[in-house]
């Protein structure tokens, strides 16, 4: 089966919000327990810092944090 990498990227970015520890309005770190190819694509798009490190978490950029919040709401929030 072929998958839509953009949809996978969006889902993983939204899921990173589940473990995000915000360090201010425009910074957060999240556990990076997701597929390395997806994390590399998110890094190439500027949504997260370089995932290749000994750290168990990854830095969400301001753009990644904003898009992750938006995607989490779109994909996982219950209608009010």
Kindly tell me the burial class for residue 20, based on how many C-beta atoms sit within 10 Å of its own C-beta (0-12, 13-18, 19 or more).
Answer: buried
Report how far residue 36's alpha carbon sits from residue 24's, in angstroms, rounded to the nearest whole number: 26
Where exactly are the structural domains of the chain? 5-46+62-76
**pLDDT value at position 1?**
87
57, 59, 62, 69 from 28: Cα distances, Å: 10, 6, 8, 11
Per DSSP, the residues of 42-60 read HHHTTSB----SS-SEEEE
Q: Name the residue among 29, 52, 31 with its Cα closest to residue 40.
A: 52
pTM of this prediction? 0.90
Q: Each residue of 43-52: pLDDT tens digit? A: 999 999 999 9
Q: Each residue of 18-67: pLDDT tens digit? A: 999 977 777 899 999 999 999 999 999 999 999 999 999 999 999 999 99
């Amino acid at each position: 089966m072929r998958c839509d990498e953009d949809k996978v990227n969006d889902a993983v970015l939204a899921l990173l919000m589940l473990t995000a520890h915000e360090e201010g309005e425009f910074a957060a770190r999240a556990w990076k327990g997701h597929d390395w190819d997806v994390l590399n694509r998110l890094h190439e798009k500027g949504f997260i810092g370089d995932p290749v490190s000994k750290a168990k978490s990854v830095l969400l950029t301001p753009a990644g944090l904003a898009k992750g919040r938006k995607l989490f709401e779109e994909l996982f929030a219950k209608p009010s």
